[in-house]
């Protein structure tokens, strides 16, 4: 039984090349018997390529490469030809085809796919965080969050948390109710990342009545009474004063507008 050694060479992590090699290898040796795959990731200069070719020549290896820079692909091909090494360029032909069809030059920037993957997983993690620590259900999330939102009921804390999560911010939100003491974690958090959301009593009265009707309840419940709303907002301001956090009036703001306001304030802190 013949053996086979394959070098997978990449200017990124090399996962793409390795998966293609494994997919082909399993058609001959499902358990990879006698097949050795060695990955060479993050190849950043010509000397790396030359050294790999020298090793491949000594060991009789095949080289499979995923290099986004045309110059490095050409160097690899030329060196393999000079040393009688079998090689396969996985990216070059498809990049060339796309370039012709799109009539554009490629970026030739390694690792873009993984950068996009990282962004995606950060977003998923932030969304899961917002769900887990929504509506004060677990105060432990307050100290783990990038942003903390507080406010009385129906001030858009949950949709705002989700919107910010899609921007990869980990958000916890806490309802402020006169009858319930705020969690102690709220007083331990950096007030600069805590935002109080307030809304006019008139607007909140309308929103709460609509909410009650949508639930099939009477719109004259205490929850929607004007005096109850005013008492909640007064209590909210007392909590805000203790926390020293910023307050944003969301009365006539869309969720996106409030989110952008918060993001701008957070970005200013970094400067």
3-state secondary structure 32-82: CCCEEEEEECCCCCHHHHHHHHHHHHHHCCEEEEECCCHHHHHHHHHHHHH
Euclidean distance between CA atoms 227 and 66, whole angstroms: 68
Q: Which residue, among 161, 256, 249, has the nearest Cα to 201 in the 3D structure?
A: 249
Please give the order of strands across the beta sheet that includes 35-40.
35-40, 4-10, 62-66, 87-89
Annotated binding site for ADP: 151-158
Sign of the C-alpha dihedral computed for residues 75, 81, 85 and 87 taken in this order: positive
Write the CA distances from 195 to 20, 36, 185, 236, integer angstroms: 49, 56, 15, 12
What would you report as the CA-atom Rg of the chain, rounded to the nearest whole angstrom? Answer: 29
Which residues are annotated binding-site positions?
Answer: 151-158
């Amino acid at each position: 039984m013949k053996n086979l050694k394959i070098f997978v060479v990449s200017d990124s992590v090399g996962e793409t090349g390795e998966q293609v090699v494994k997919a082909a290898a399993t058609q001959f040796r499902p358990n990879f018997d006698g097949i050795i795959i060695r990955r060479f990731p993050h190849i950043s200069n010509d000397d790396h390529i030359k050294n790999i070719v020298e090793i491949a020549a000594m060991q009789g290896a095949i080289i499979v490469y995923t290099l986004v820079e045309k110059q490095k692909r050409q160097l690899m091909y030329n060196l393999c030809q000079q040393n009688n090494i079998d090689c396969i360029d996985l990216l070059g032909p498809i990049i060339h085809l796309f370039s012709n069809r799109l009539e554009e030059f490629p970026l030739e920037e390694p690792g873009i796919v993984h950068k996009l993957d990282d962004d995606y997983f950060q977003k998923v993690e932030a969304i899961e965080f917002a769900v887990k620590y929504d509506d004060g259900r677990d105060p432990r999330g307050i100290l783990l969050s990038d942003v903390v939102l507080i406010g009385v009921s129906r001030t858009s804390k949950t949709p705002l948390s989700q919107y910010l999560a899609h921007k990869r911010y980990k958000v916890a939100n806490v309802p402020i109710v006169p009858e319930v003491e705020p969690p102690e974690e709220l007083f331990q958090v950096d007030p600069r990342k805590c935002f109080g959301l307030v809304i006019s009593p008139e607007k909140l009265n309308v929103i709460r009545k609509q909410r009650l009707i949508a639930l099939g309840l009477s719109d004259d419940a205490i929850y929607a009474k004007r005096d109850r709303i005013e008492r909640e907002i007064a209590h909210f301001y007392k909590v805000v004063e203790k926390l020293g956090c910023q307050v944003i009036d969301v009365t006539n703001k869309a969720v996106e507008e409030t989110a952008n306001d918060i993001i701008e304030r957070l970005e200013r802190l970094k400067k």
